Amino acid sequence: MKTLYIIRHAKSSWKDLNLDDFERPLNKRGKNDAPQMSKRLKQQGIYPDIILSSPAKRAKQTAKAIAKEISYDEKIRYIEDIYEASPNTLENILHSLDDKYETVFLIGHNPGLNMLVEKYVDFEENIPTGGVVSIKFDTKEWKNISRKYAELLWFDYPKKSNKIS
């Protein structure tokens, strides 16, 4: 069984309009939300075998905040192709993972993340910044993950009142 946690980067800043999109950092709310969501994961005993992240500044900051909060000691894998990725590109990244990884955190951006979730399960919501979608795949190989083997476990985000249980 494989479990994928699709995580949209936390809220980013639009304060400096001269910054390239790739360089936009987290804003104050994002800096608070990333650790808050990490604590929710930690409280559920959810720890990744690997963290994959977009190298965009806001995604990196989110990945680092999550890693710190859950005491993830491995190296975060920053993958250029996650930035502005299509769902097919994201799926190709997942299909290429080593099968020794059972639990994966994928940190990136919309609309690609939302489209990836919709590819696997019936999902009609928008993943807000800081949101996490958990999908379980009844397969032993990442190359086989597909809608056929997918089950939506839960969806959580910073402003949600009924948090994961």
List of domains in the chain: 2-156 (3.40.50.1240)
Per-residue model confidence (pLDDT) at position 16: 86
Q: Tokens 């069984």 belong to which residue?
A: 1
Which residues define the annotated binding site for substrate? 58
Mean pLDDT along residues 161-165 = 56
Per-residue model confidence (pLDDT) at position 30: 95
DSSP 8-state code for residue 23:
G
Which residues define the annotated binding site? 58
What are the residues whose beta carbons fall under 8 Å from the beta carbon of 55, sequence distance 6 or more? Answer: 22, 78, 79, 80, 82, 83
> Whole-angstrom Cα distance, residue 79 to residue 52?
7
pTM: 0.95
Taking alpha carbons only, the member of 66, 39, 37 closest to residue 51 is 66
Q: Name which of 14-18, 33-37, 74-78, 92-96 the model is least confident about.
A: 14-18
Max Cα-Cα span within the chain: 46
Per-residue model confidence (pLDDT) at position 43: 92
- Residues 97-137: tens digit of each pLDDT: 999 999 999 999 999 999 999 999 999 999 999 999 999 99
